[in-house]
Amino acid sequence: MARRSGGFKIRLIIGLLVAAFAVFQYYSNSSFNEITGEDQHVSLSPEQEIQLGLDGRDYMIQESGGLYQDQEVQQYVDQIGADIVQKSDASKTPYPYEFHVLADPNTVNAFAMPGGQIFITVGLLKRLQSKDQVAGVLGHEVGHVVARHSAQQMEKQKLTQGLVGAAGVVGGDVNSAQYAQMIGNMVNMSYGRADELQSDELGVRFMIQAGYDPSALIGVMEILAEASGGQSQPEFASTHPSPDNRIQKIKEAIDEYGNATSSGDY
Ligand SMILES: [Zn+2]
């Protein structure tokens, strides 16, 4: 009896040490994001984010029925994407942004992988009514990349894994099973509502900087709300606050960034 309880105590102490170490690691991996102005818990380097996105890209394209085979449409999206990236604060990030039009006509969706890989289905693209709306979708997705939402999510997952005693995933010596799991998580990732609101806000900011009409993002929200009736929810709508609340926040961001007399104070 005494031995069993002694063994339990030792296991408990080791467990607490492992947990404390995981928490310590999480909080010591802090880096400042210049664009969002936040301290973030991320241990992936931008180079690792880029590599993960590139590794996930082909898998994602394959899963979505391939690329949409129309060069004109692809170039249209590339040009708007390049505008958003090159004429905004997103240009200060080290990511090689790529915009892919996916051939899936039935799914209404757009999403981003870490490191600048951005996808939009032709099913969504065909519902959009203007260049500004396309810029709204791409701006929102670029926002997820710039704010490093995937890398932050992975860090939280790593913390969770650490708390149940698993080894850290990131650090250069990732084995292939863990790596496959990371890619899988990345694909299925849904962001929290705070992340969605932040991407909306960043999207508005990048649209204004690139010369697009930010109010078009409100139209995008309406199109997505309509499209999500009855089918699986698009990335955009995954965990979001009520559409009204979200549109209200977009309006606030438009006021904030639209009335800014100079850039450089955010
Ligand atoms: Zn989103």
pLDDT tens per residue across span 32-77: 999 999 999 888 889 999 998 998 899 889 888 899 999 999 999 9
199 contacts 140 by C-beta, under 8 angstroms:
yes
The alpha carbon of 23 and the centre of ligand 1 are apart by a number of angstroms equal to 27
Q: pTM score, two decimals?
A: 0.80
| CA–CA gap between residue 220 and residue 227 (Å, rounded) | 10
* Dist. CA 10 → ligand 1 center (Å): 45
The distance in angstroms from the start CA to the end CA of the chain is 62
Q: Is the predicted pLDDT of residue 118 greater than 80, yes or no?
A: yes
Quick one: CA torsion of 92, 98, 104, 105, rounded to 10 degrees? 60
Cα 180 to middle of ligand 1, angstroms: 23
Catalytic member of 49, 141, 196, 235:
141
Q: Is 38 one of the annotated active-site residues of the chain?
A: no
Q: How confident is the model over 240-259, as pLDDT tens digits?
A: 556 678 888 999 999 998 86
Secondary structure element (H or E) that encloses residue 72, with its range: helix 71-86
Ligand 1 centroid, distance to 111 Cα (angstroms): 7
Give the other-Cβ count within 10 Å of 138's Cβ.
28
Torsion sign (Cα): 114, 217, 108, 76: negative
Of the pLDDT bands very low, low, confident and very high (cuts 50, 70, 90), residue 99 is very high
Contact of 132 with 152, CB cutoff 8 Å: no
Element (H, E) at 82: helix 71-86
Both tokens assigned to 50: 């880029």
